[in-house]
Chains A and B, each alone.
Chain A
């Protein structure tokens, strides 16, 4: 080797080093077969992966039923997924019992919301101010008018008829948007110098965070009507929204407080030195920095909220999971041993896609932000 290099020094320079660390085989040797135990683990892992993958394909494709008009098609023992159940119920799962002639309103709302969310979530788009105004001021009003109707010639659709993915998205999005101002106020109050304000916030946040969401929803559904003067009633969906927004607000407040604490003291003092009032200081100096810092935390708490929306079925609303569960449990036409799993897998896939998408978004943002912070 040494003599070789001496004779043709330049000819060899372009060859890759004879490294044991390069190439597929070397990678496999290092990462999969570095020791007898490791080799065993590799084969065990591959076996598990193969077992899972084949079981899934077997259930979802090979043994699945793709056509049929009712549950009898799927009643044969050993049947996999019962896909016609999903196909026949798809409208119900997306819109609930929303009247068929009015479904375009829901579709339009989905599109408008997607535009708003895209505007807010994609970084570095121009016209940020208008996007925020559109998403947080115009969209809620338009959405309410569009979905409920009763004005502008749109027929009224009561919230009892809403269901499926529509309710899931309404609860999740309204919950996130409404919990935001609650959270900011609570976070600022918890950091306040005024003892009464601070202790009120601490008490409220810890109380809400200490109890399960179900008890908050029970409270909103059975206690709230008792709190109101007689004659005043609140829509069931509205009550759930209040419960969810308050619950999520307390968790989000702690996320935002983390951001507030991370802002160096000098920023607060500099704002004071400039003669800004408390609200100017918060609005112009502190909150913009603090909120940017905790965007990943905000997305994480949105993911938690999105999953939590499924709990509204316990107080009798039919969100995506609620309506799938109802179709499984009480629709005799589609009764078969393979219907339940099919329904749950379908609903699970939708929930998973939303949550996984959000968590990927949060990770990408985190990388982006940490790039800016790196020195």
Chain B
């Protein structure tokens, strides 16, 4: 294309349309739109192909479709249920039982794994060589073994090898463990429990108010009020006083070892014990690593600056190091919580009635409605994931370094 040509002259030249077409073809914007159009068409065609194949296959195999099956009677029993359920109830109800079982094991696992993980992670950083080596061994052994294998070992080799109820192993706090599960004392509520619960809540509220006041006081005057003993007194005293005043509103029913069986108490299924233990030990190894790298990630200058300001070691830890370490620890920690929740689906391998086991296992086999069942299962985990990551983003935004 010659320079200095007027538009009119260019239009008039023979073959100009070809040049314009060429410049269109090489225009990144045009190419982008074309590429996206192709992608959309491809996705739609792919989806159409799948849908038509699925309709075909379902019709040929005479499988029903739609979500009507959730209303039908389930007809099978579930060994552990947190909400009322019997085999005359619907598949939908069975789904809820599975879901609550998943949430139970995930919740237990998250709490326990956090405690063990923080303990091991801090032990890993200990200046005591014996303690830090033990923590290192724990981490390196447990995070390099498939969690499913750990579940199998705990369930089939340890728990299934336990004696029958008659010869139960006696544990502290009058608990018993045998091949049928772990039996622990069961809390029983008595009249007056409401008053007790309210007293506990009021105690918590007072302590929270005290914490806020002490922070304001410190920021305003630069002096730290001795509030810790008071807080401890309120936390322990309020429930104790309420317990006495309300006339022992709850008691523990201790299980007793009879001639053939353990009676009373609260029995946790061996599947639940195995799943919780396995997931906790496995995830704790990862949390320990997160905690270690978080604390190591706080620059040494921060510790030195805190010392230069005259803070004690405990104060430096609580006010300077931990808040900054948490900023590093929390995002991967949330990921570990999510991983634990997703790994709880391994329950299906040892027969713990979680969501996948009840819904994608039993219900899928009974109804054959693979697509609906798998989609619902995936949707549940997706919702849990998205909810957690939203929460994490919110927390991150709050904790983020405010840079000037």
- Chain B 139-171 per-residue mask, 1 if CB under 8 angstroms from chain A, else 0: 011011111111011001110110000000000
Alpha-carbon distance between A123 and B159 when the two chains are bound, in angstroms: 46
- Residues on the B chain within 8 Å of A193, using CB: 32
Pick the residue among A45, A227, A348, A356 that contacts B153 (CB under 8 A).
Answer: A348
User: Which residue of the partner chain, among A32, A313, A341, contacts B157 with CB atoms under 8 Å?
Assistant: A341
* Interface 9-mer from B3-11, B52-60, B194-202: B52-60
Instruction: Give A218 to B357 CA distance when docked, in angstroms.
Output: 11
CB pair B382 A210 closer than 8 Å: yes
Binds A, one of B92-100, B234-242, B253-261, B342-350: B342-350
A residues 190-216 touching B (CB-CB < 8 Å):
193-197, 200, 206-207, 209-215
Q: Smallest CB–CB gap between B186 and chain A, Å?
A: 31
Q: Is the CB of A45 within 8 A of B149?
A: no
Query: Is there an interface contact between A222 and B364, defined as CB atoms closer than 8 Å?
Result: yes
**Residues of B in contact with A (beta carbons under 8 Å apart):** 32, 35-36, 39-40, 43, 50, 53-54, 56-58, 60, 126-131, 133-134, 140-141, 143-150, 152-153, 156-158, 160-161, 342-343, 345-346, 348-349, 356, 360, 364, 370-371, 374, 377-378, 381-382, 384-386
Cβ of A166 under 8 Å from chain B: no
Contacting residues, chain B, for A356 (C-beta < 8 A): 140, 144
A207→B382 contact, CB < 8 A: yes
A328–B157 alpha-carbon span in the complex (Å) = 10
Which residues from 66 to 105 on chain A have a C-beta closer than 8 Å to any C-beta of chain B? none
Cross-chain contact A341 with B153 (CB below 8 angstroms): yes
A125–B128 alpha-carbon span in the complex (Å): 41
**In the complex, how many angstroms separate the beta carbon of B283 from the nearest chain A beta carbon?**
13
In Å, the complex CA distance between A229 and B364 comes to 22
What are 30 A-B interface contacts by the 8 Å CB criterion? Answer: A31-B128, A45-B128, A45-B133, A45-B134, A195-B36, A196-B36, A197-B35, A210-B381, A211-B381, A212-B342, A212-B345, A215-B345, A215-B360, A215-B377, A218-B374, A223-B370, A226-B53, A226-B58, A230-B56, A303-B144, A307-B146, A313-B148, A313-B349, A340-B153, A341-B153, A345-B153, A348-B145, A351-B144, A352-B141, A359-B140
The chain A residue with its CB closest to the CB of B144 is: A355
Least CB distance from A263 to B in Å reads 20
Residues of B close to A310: CB separation below 8 A: 146, 148-149
B381 touches A212 (CB 8 A): yes
Q: Which stretch from A34-42, A113-121, A128-136, A176-184 is at the chain B interface?
A: A34-42
Query: Hey, which chain A residues are within 8 Å of B129, CB to CB?
Result: 31-32
Report if A219-B128 is in contact (Cβ < 8 Å); known contacts: A310-B146, A344-B152, A356-B144: no
Output the least CB separation between B270 and chain A (Å).
14
A219 pairs with B374, CB closer than 8 A: yes
Q: Are B130 and A226 in contact (CB under 8 A)?
A: no
A contact residues, range? 35 or more
- SS class, residues of chain B in contact with chain A: helix
Q: Which of A194, A212, A355 contacts B145 (CB 8 A)?
A: A355
Contact A32 B370 (CB under 8 A): no
Nearest B-chain residue to A210, judged by Cβ? B385
CA distance A313 to B385 in the complex (A): 25
B130 touches A46 (CB 8 A): yes
User: What is the bound-complex CA distance between A169 and B128, given in angstroms?
Assistant: 40
Tell me if A308 is interfacial: C-beta within 8 Å of chain B: yes
For the complex of A and B, 3 pairs with smallest distance between CB atoms: A45-B130, A210-B385, A355-B144
Q: Shortest Cβ distance from A348 into chain B, in angstroms?
A: 5
A31 to B149, CA, bound (A): 36
Distance, CA A45 to CA B135, complexed state (A):
10
Residue A141 at the chain B interface, CB threshold 8 Å: no
Q: Are B149 and A49 in contact (CB under 8 A)?
A: no
Q: A308, B146: Cβ atoms under 8 Å?
A: yes
Bound-complex Cα distance A324 to B197 (A): 51
- Of the residues B32, B39, B148, B364, contact of A311 by C-beta under 8 Å: B148
In the bound assembly, the distance between CA atoms of A119 and B140 in angstroms comes to: 27
Query: A31-B128, A196-B39, A355-B143 known; 5 other A-B pairs, CB under 8 Å?
Result: A31-B129, A214-B360, A222-B370, A340-B161, A355-B144
Contacts of A323 in B (CB 8 A): none
A87 to B127, CA, bound (A): 43
A347 to B152, CA, bound (A): 11
Q: In the bound complex, how far is the Cα of B146 from the Cα of A13, in angstroms?
A: 57
- Cβ of A258 within 8 Å of any chain B Cβ, yes or no, is no
List residues of chain B with CB within 8 A of the CB of A229. Answer: 53, 56
Known: A210-B381, A214-B346, A227-B50. A307 touches B32 (CB 8 A): no
Residues of the B chain whose Cβ atoms lie less than 8 Å from the Cβ of A30? 127
Minimum CB–CB distance from A117 to chain B (whole Å) comes to: 18
Residues in B whose Cβ lies below 8 Å from that of A328 = 156
